[in-house]
Amino acid sequence: MKNEKSIKKLEELGQKTLDMINRMEQPYFELPVRSLSNTFFDEKSKTIKMGNKMSKRYFLNTKHTRKYAQTISIAAELKKIIKEQATISIRDLYYALKHTLKNSKENSFENQGESDPIIEDLEASLGLLREELNLAASTKGVISGKLKIKDGKDTIDLSKMGSGGWGVPSNVEPDTIEIKDLDADFVLFIEKDAVWKRFNEDKFWKKHNCIIITGKGQPSRAERRLAQRLNKEFNLPIFSLMDADPWGFYIYSVIKRGSISLSYSEEKLATPDTKYIGLTISDIDKYKIPPEVFMKLSPEDLKRIKDMKNYPWFKNKLWQKELNLMKTKNVKLELEALSRKRIRFITEEYLPDKIRNKDFLP
Amino acid sequence: MKNEKSIKKLEELGQKTLDMINRMEQPYFELPVRSLSNTFFDEKSKTIKMGNKMSKRYFLNTKHTRKYAQTISIAAELKKIIKEQATISIRDLYYALKHTLKNSKENSFENQGESDPIIEDLEASLGLLREELNLAASTKGVISGKLKIKDGKDTIDLSKMGSGGWGVPSNVEPDTIEIKDLDADFVLFIEKDAVWKRFNEDKFWKKHNCIIITGKGQPSRAERRLAQRLNKEFNLPIFSLMDADPWGFYIYSVIKRGSISLSYSEEKLATPDTKYIGLTISDIDKYKIPPEVFMKLSPEDLKRIKDMKNYPWFKNKLWQKELNLMKTKNVKLELEALSRKRIRFITEEYLPDKIRNKDFLP
């Protein structure tokens, strides 16, 4: 059964509570503190991580009682849906549990803003991804290239997806998604859907023996997790292709190091081996990109550049140079700007050239 | 060659201009007026449509000269990309054409806000979808079910897509996407991705011999066009499954009748045969949905209800009743609210029941 080990962890949680009640002790949970102050960059895993600070949630503390009951109720529901082998959204979970308590006007949950953080508490304290608790996050991405995916009884050949690509599902864990017949040398992680379409139409993945994936903007958990699996389990290098703007750099940073809000899961989502293949402001001179396609930085861009210069993983000569160059030139550049050269410049010249010259940023 | 007939239409446009110049006449284009005043509900096609009002764009009218030159430049570029058999985004097109005119400081286009409306002018005046001009719109949707798609050299079996589904590509025109081995009785057009995932996981399309598609919110052109093709070419009924809120009703309205902003293309995008299968406010009593999962209407919701009551296609007893019921009960309801009954209530009871009883809205 899928996610059977998660049931055990949920039952342990319940058993502990029961034991405390039987011993006439006050029941409590121990939960990791999910705040910025308990988030750090872990030099060992090379990802953003949650620290060791713990807090306690007591049933008999009136400030905690509501949350305590909600935690128990969510844990019980998760056990139930895993047993039913159903995958549900966090919105489903909220509705499934929402009810008015007997002989009262009190609702179990007032809104989803109450249930979502408790799901995160459980993920963090049990050391499980939400996908391992049969919860489905939303997904946007598509993928194609030289591999097959075994998903349930279906074997899906990602080199035969036509112009559409396979829609990345929310759960790409090994017991759901098996990676088969992998015949690729690297993964190209593309920020924009329109650019992915260019690479797919030009069958870039065929000519260059690779896999192309996009999260259509900021990628969902599933696209990041799938890239991580391809890197960790199959040693495939991951190359990120983003706009040369602070937002593109930030998306790269999340793919590589993770995000603060998901720090408790980043060890399983981030891919520290990722390299940045483009677009950069240095490319302007290298590829003679005409100034007509430049865009000016906004005040928000400038703030973001300042912030990023202080990220530990951008504290590197090459990145500092790029960030400074962007600021002093007051220029940002979209991937589509390369269409000014010619429509297939990006797939036929730019990327092959970058790969040949190993022109990456760390 | 794909979209060869579009090249002819573009060349005719150029030839006309050339003829006028050779005759020493002032060159002009005739363009349909793309405004609300020239939009109407066509009783024959049962879709929103553009009217017959035309305007003229003169090369020698200084107010028109810039737009005239831009139109010629876009038409020429479109001919080029069709010949190259490349599909590009409207952003690519903007960048491809952006340049500073020789011996001047004048740019061909200042921003994409200048090129996009001209693309729409060309679509409207040539009677072509942008997909027929090798332009790719963004796409979000996924599809699975009992059919195969032939896309280039690939044949994609949509009944073997695992948990992911096939990502709907931007161009689903007959010369790109061939529909094969169709063994479905109907199409279920689902508003929300999370709900589509529920139907896909429960293999609803297998048990009920159908196709399930979602546009992940407001659908893109491609999802609507594909549904239309399945309806028009294969006589499949389309059933829409939306939230019982003004936004869900509006999305249904666009699938069925089209939108004002795309009035010039709606005859090829809208599917007047679509029926509304759920969710409705009447369902609250029919399925004993508990009040804990109700949501109150916002002032914006109330405004939208008022607007929709005046749409010609909602001027129908059943719809007026639903809209009034929503207003008087002051209730809206999300599809996920059905999870309050049980997680698989929607796929195992609600939808089968609706189909059995033919409980649809027109």
For the stretch A185-211, pLDDT in tens is 999 999 999 999 999 999 999 999 999
pLDDT band at A303, cuts 50/70/90? Answer: very high
Domain-embedded: residue B106: yes
Residue A125 CA from chain centroid, whole number: 19
Which pLDDT score, from 0 to 100, does residue B137 have?
A: 86
pTM flag (> 0.90): yes
Reduced DSSP (H G I as helix, E B as strand, rest coil) percent helix, strand, coil of chain B, to 5:
45, 20, 35
In the block, residue with structure tokens 């995000």: A259
DSSP state of A33: -
8 A C-beta contact, residue A92 and residue A138? no
Phi, psi of B332 (to 5 degrees): -125, 165
Distance from CA of A86 to the nearest CA of B (A): 8
DSSP state of B108: S
* Residue A33 shares a structural domain with residue A54: yes
Residue-wise pLDDT for B28-45, tens only, equals: 999 999 999 999 999 999
Domain-embedded: residue B35: yes
Enter the tokens of residue A319.
């990145």
Cβ-based burial of A328 (10 A; exposed 0-12, middle 13-18, buried ≥19): exposed
Reduced DSSP (H G I as helix, E B as strand, rest coil) percent helix, strand, coil of chain A, to 5:
45, 20, 35
What is the distance between the terminal CA atoms of chain A, rounded to a whole angstrom?
40
Cβ-based burial of B102 (10 A; exposed 0-12, middle 13-18, buried ≥19): exposed
Which pLDDT score, from 0 to 100, does residue A244 have?
A: 98
Asked if ipTM goes beyond 0.90, one says: yes
Considering A136, A162, A178, which residue would you say is the last residue of a domain?
A: A136
* Cα–Cα distance for residue pair B282/B172, rounded to 1 Å: 36
Give Cβ neighbours of residue A338 (< 8 Å, ≥ 6 apart): A279, A287, A289, A345, A346, A350, B95
Considering B66, B101, B136, which residue would you say is the last residue of a domain?
A: B136
Mapping DSSP to helix (H, G, I), strand (E, B) and coil, where does residue A135 land? Answer: strand
Contact (CB<8Å) B154/A162? yes
DSSP state of B350: I
Give Cβ neighbours of residue B338 (< 8 Å, ≥ 6 apart): A95, B279, B287, B289, B345, B346, B350
In B149-216, which ranges are continuous DSSP H helix?
A: 193-201, 204-207
Distance from CA of A111 to the nearest CA of B (A): 10
Residue A129 belongs to domain with CATH number? 1.10.10.10
* Residue A240 shares a structural domain with residue A148: yes
The residues facing A154 across adjacent strands are: A151
8 A C-beta contact, residue A171 and residue A131? yes
Contact (CB<8Å) A343/B92? yes
Which pLDDT score, from 0 to 100, does residue B1 have?
A: 84
Q: pLDDT exceeding 70 applies to what percent of chain B?
A: 100
Q: Which residues of B touch A177 (CB under 8 A)?
A: 162
Checking if the pLDDT of A139 tops 90, the result is no
Which pLDDT score, from 0 to 100, does residue A119 have?
A: 97
Residue-wise pLDDT for B142-181, tens only, equals: 999 999 999 999 999 999 999 999 999 999 999 999 999 9
Pairing mode, if any, of strands A210-214 and A142-145?
Answer: antiparallel
* Residue B174 shares a structural domain with residue B108: no
Residue-wise pLDDT for B43-58, tens only, equals: 999 999 999 999 999 9
Domain-embedded: residue B283: yes
* Cα–Cα distance for residue pair B195/A349, rounded to 1 Å: 42
Contact (CB<8Å) B176/A169? no
Which residue of chain A has the CA closest to B110? Answer: A292
* Cα–Cα distance for residue pair A104/A55, rounded to 1 Å: 30
Domain-embedded: residue B361: no
Domain-embedded: residue A123: yes
Which pLDDT score, from 0 to 100, does residue B304 have?
A: 96
Q: Which of A146, A137, A136 is nearest to A166 (CA)?
A: A146
Three-class SS string for A219-240?
CCHHHHHHHHHHHHHHCCCEEE
Checking if the pLDDT of A1 tops 90, the result is no
Cβ-nearest to B166 among A139, A140, A166: A166
* Residue B205 shares a structural domain with residue B132: no
Residue-wise pLDDT for B246-269, tens only, equals: 999 999 999 999 999 999 999 999
Dihedral angle of Cα B164, B170, B172, B178, to the nearest 10 degrees: -50
Domain-embedded: residue A361: no
Q: pLDDT exceeding 70 applies to what percent of chain A?
A: 100
* Cα–Cα distance for residue pair B162/B168, rounded to 1 Å: 15
Q: Which of B211, B242, B263, B265 is nearest to B336 (CA)?
A: B242
* Residue A342 shares a structural domain with residue A216: yes
Contact (CB<8Å) A169/B156? no
Average pLDDT, chain A: 96
* Residue A199 shares a structural domain with residue A124: no
Mutate to test the interface with B, among A336, A345, A347, A348 (most CBs of B within 10 A): A336
Domain-embedded: residue B314: yes
Distance from CA of A268 to the nearest CA of B (A): 21
Contact (CB<8Å) B167/A162? no
The number of beta carbons lying within 10 Å of the beta carbon of residue B282 is: 17
* Residue A166 shares a structural domain with residue A92: no
Domain-embedded: residue B362: no
Q: Which of B277, B283, B287 is nearest to B212 (CA)?
A: B277
Strands (E), A132-176: 135-136, 142-145, 148-151, 154-157, 166-167
The residues facing B359 across adjacent strands are: none
Contact (CB<8Å) B160/A156? yes
List residues of B with catalytic annotation.
95
* Residue B20 shares a structural domain with residue B39: yes
What is the distance between the terminal CA atoms of chain B, rounded to a whole angstrom?
40
DSSP state of A217: S
Of the residues A68, A95, A311, A350, only one is catalytic, namely: A95
Checking if the pLDDT of A94 tops 90, the result is yes
Count: domains in chain B: 2
Domain membership of residue B156 as a residue range = 142-356
Which pLDDT score, from 0 to 100, does residue B153 have?
A: 95
8 A C-beta contact, residue A128 and residue A6? yes
Which pLDDT score, from 0 to 100, does residue B49 have?
A: 96
* Cα–Cα distance for residue pair B46/B48, rounded to 1 Å: 7
Residue-wise pLDDT for A52-83, tens only, equals: 999 999 999 999 999 999 999 999 999 999 99
* Cα–Cα distance for residue pair B241/B257, rounded to 1 Å: 16
8 A C-beta contact, residue A121 and residue A74? no
Distance from CA of B336 to the nearest CA of A (A): 5
In the block, residue with structure tokens 């969902």: A220
* Cα–Cα distance for residue pair A202/A196, rounded to 1 Å: 10
Considering B89, B106, B136, which residue would you say is the last residue of a domain?
A: B136
* Residue B94 shares a structural domain with residue B215: no
* Cα–Cα distance for residue pair A228/A223, rounded to 1 Å: 9
Bond prior to A325 in cis (omega within 30° of 0): no
* Residue B194 shares a structural domain with residue B333: yes
The number of beta carbons lying within 10 Å of the beta carbon of residue B111 is: 11
Residue B242 belongs to domain with CATH number? 3.40.1360.10
Cβ-based burial of B182 (10 A; exposed 0-12, middle 13-18, buried ≥19): middle
pLDDT band at B318, cuts 50/70/90? Answer: very high
* Residue B127 shares a structural domain with residue B146: no
Q: Which residues of B touch A163 (CB under 8 A)?
A: 87, 151-152, 169-171, 176
* Cα–Cα distance for residue pair A64/B1, rounded to 1 Å: 68
* Residue B89 shares a structural domain with residue B192: no
